[in-house]
């Protein structure tokens, strides 16, 4: 007689193993996944198991607790299937993913297929929608506006000497480092020159201290920021401190930097925003900056040193204020949005 009739148990056919996995529609905190599978026993599939892991960084601490459950059990829906919200997916992060098909039994246990091959993919940067959420959070704490007249940039003497000798006196844009929000679309991509514009409350002038070197280039505000430039919001972050940073980008209209920002960053009205304004009063340009955030301004074109002055500062070098490659505090309620990390 037939074996299954003798034992009273039908032999289960093996479930099809997913293959040719495709990842699409990747955002900073979601993706779509699809795959192919043999039609044999396909109708028995009730669930998919998806195993998602951050790609191991060789230097990462092996004892760190895993911050997310890696296995997602999903009902067998038509493919492609959207994965979002089941984990905190971080933006701009490499992940590995593998899939099995499963059949839920009467007793609640699952019969599963073999695992598929492992696929790698990387999540995307924050979109303009996410940056607009950050912008709105930054506006809440920007504070009242104070007057300013100059932008300034602190560096070591060698930097200015090198600029004169090797770049014909023009400071050159360089690629922005990875400080700030992990999902920031300007990190590692936008080229520009960093300037500060914060003033001391009592003097209205730039502070005498700086973390970035004892020499300071100062330039009249209107030479960098005027009706021929566009202003964009780039980021909002803190580094486990009480004060917050806002990154703004000033780009000459139609420049490569302007084209880059137009596609990726929320644009601000130069006369009317909560961070940095430029307006005409009685034929003179008047400038204001937000009092309660530290503004980091990126100018996207070269700047000739002859347009301003270079002089030694009298204050200290406060290295603790440096933001080079600084990591954003992911737990701060003020400057984080709910997507990604």
With 0-12 / 13-18 / 19 or more C-beta atoms within 10 angstroms meaning exposed / middle / buried, residue 174 is exposed
Q: Which of 214, 123, 180, 202 is nearest to 295 (CA)?
A: 180
Residue 3 confidence (pLDDT): 44
Decide: 200 and 313 in contact? Cβ < 8 Å.
no
How far is the C-alpha of 13 from the C-alpha of 17, rounded, in Å?
12
H or E element that contains 35: strand 30-36
- Strands 245-252, 294-299: parallel, antiparallel or unpaired by DSSP? parallel
54-106 pLDDT tens trace: 887 655 444 444 444 567 888 888 899 988 865 678 888 899 999 999 999 99
Distance (Å) of CA 110 to CA 15, 19, 49, 103, 285: 11, 20, 10, 5, 71
Q: Give the Cα separation of 253 and 143 in Å (integer).
A: 28
Both tokens of residue 131?
Answer: 């940056």
Q: What confidence tens digit (pLDDT) does each residue in 300-331 have? A: 999 999 999 999 887 666 555 566 667 788 88
Residue 156 has pLDDT above 70, yes or no: yes
**CB 229 within 8 Å of CB 261:** no
* Alpha-carbon gap, residue 189 to 200, rounded angstroms: 32
Peptide linkage before 246 cis (omega within 30 of 0): no
Instruction: Catalogue all structural domains in the chain, each as residue range(s) with its CATH number.
Output: 19-123 (2.60.40.10), 128-312 (no CATH)
Q: What is the CA radius of gyration of the chain?
A: 27
Tell me what pLDDT residue 179 has: 85
Torsion of Cα atoms, 270 then 274 then 276 then 278, to 10°: 40
- Kind plus residue range of the DSSP H or E element containing 209: none
pLDDT in tens, 177-219: 888 888 899 999 999 999 998 887 767 778 777 777 789 999 9
Give the predicted TM-score (pTM) of the model: 0.81
What does the pLDDT look like over 98-143, one tens digit per residue? Answer: 999 999 999 888 899 999 999 999 988 898 988 999 999 999 999 9
Measured CA to CA, the distance from residue 271 to residue 68 in angstroms comes to: 44
φ, ψ of residue 307 to 5 degrees: the values are -80, -10
pLDDT at 5: 46
H or E stretch covering 85: none
Backbone phi and psi for residue 150, each to the nearest 5 degrees, phi listed first: -135, 155
CA-nearest of 298, 309, 61 to 174 is: 298
Spatial distance between the Cα atoms of 127 and 266, rounded to a whole number of angstroms: 10
Q: Which single residue is written with the structure tokens 């459950």?
A: 69
pLDDT at 214: 84
Distance CA(81)–CA(25), nearest Å, equals: 11
Angle at 247 between CA 144 and CA 316, to 5 degrees: 80
pLDDT at 324: 65
**Measured in Å, how far apart are the chain's first and last C-alpha atoms?**
61
Check if the beta carbon of residue 318 is closer than 8 Å to that of residue 270.
no
């Amino acid at each position: 007689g037939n074996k299954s009739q003798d034992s009273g148990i039908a032999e289960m056919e093996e479930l099809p193993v997913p293959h040719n996995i495709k990842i699409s529609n990747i955002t900073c905190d979601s993706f779509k996944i699809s795959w192919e599978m043999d039609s044999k026993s396909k109708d028995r599939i009730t669930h998919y198991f998806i195993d998602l892991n951050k790609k191991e960084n060789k230097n990462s601490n092996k004892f760190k607790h895993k911050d997310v459950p890696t296995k997602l059990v999903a009902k067998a829906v038509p493919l492609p299937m959207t994965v979002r919200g089941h984990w905190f997916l971080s933006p701009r992060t490499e992940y590995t993913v593998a899939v099995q098909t499963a059949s839920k039994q009467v007793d609640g246990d699952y019969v599963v297929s073999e695992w598929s091959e492992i696929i790698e993919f990387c999540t995307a940067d924050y979109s303009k929608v996410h940056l607009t959420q950050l912008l709105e959070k930054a506006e809440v704490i920007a504070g009242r506006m104070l007057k300013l007249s100059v932008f300034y940039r602190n560096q070591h003497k060698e930097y200015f000497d090198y600029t004169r000798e090797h770049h014909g006196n023009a400071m050159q844009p360089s690629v922005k480092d990875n400080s700030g929000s992990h999902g920031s679309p300007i990190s590692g991509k936008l080229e520009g020159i960093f300037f500060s514009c914060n003033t001391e409350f009592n003097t209205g002038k730039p502070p005498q201290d700086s973390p970035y070197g004892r020499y300071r280039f100062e330039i009249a505000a209107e030479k960098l920021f005027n009706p021929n430039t566009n202003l964009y919001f780039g980021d909002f972050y803190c580094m486990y401190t009480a004060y917050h940073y806002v990154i703004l980008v000033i780009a000459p209209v139609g420049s490569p930097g302007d084209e880059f920002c137009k596609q990726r960053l929320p644009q601000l009205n130069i006369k009317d925003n909560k961070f940095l304004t430029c307006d005409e009063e009685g034929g003179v340009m008047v400038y204001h900056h937000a009092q309660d955030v530290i503004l980091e301004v990126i100018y996207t074109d070269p700047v000739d040193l002859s347009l301003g002055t270079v002089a030694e500062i009298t204050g200290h070098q406060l290295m603790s204020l440096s933001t080079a490659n600084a990591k954003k505090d992911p737990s701060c309620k003020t400057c984080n949005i709910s997507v990604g990390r």
